[in-house]
Amino acid sequence: MNEGKIKKIFAEAFEITEEEVHDDIEYNSYQPWDSLKHLQLVSMLEEELGIELEMDDIIDMSSYKKVREITLKYLS
């Protein structure tokens, strides 16, 4: 259930459909994913899931797969 929420937030942040969200979307190669978008994504995850991400984890979120894994850690 939490994985679905994370995917929904990620899709909202990048204005794409949930079907378009996949593990190999990466910060370095996905053009819309820049530093400003990264901060928007982090803020949306925190607000919508009621968590506060550590800076090291925010920096470590280099792909959708990592975003999902790191965020789930805060929800477990």
**Applying CB under 8 A, which residues contact another protein?**
35-36, 39-40, 42-43, 46-47, 55, 59
Angle at which helix 2-14 crosses helix 64-75, to 10 degrees, equals 130
Nearest approach in angstroms of CB 39 to another protein is 5
Nearer Cβ to another protein (13/25): 13
Nearer Cβ to another protein (59/75): 59
How far is 26 from 28, CA to CA, in rounded Å?
6
Nearest approach in angstroms of CB 43 to another protein is 4
Nearest to 41, CA basis, from 20, 23, 62: 62
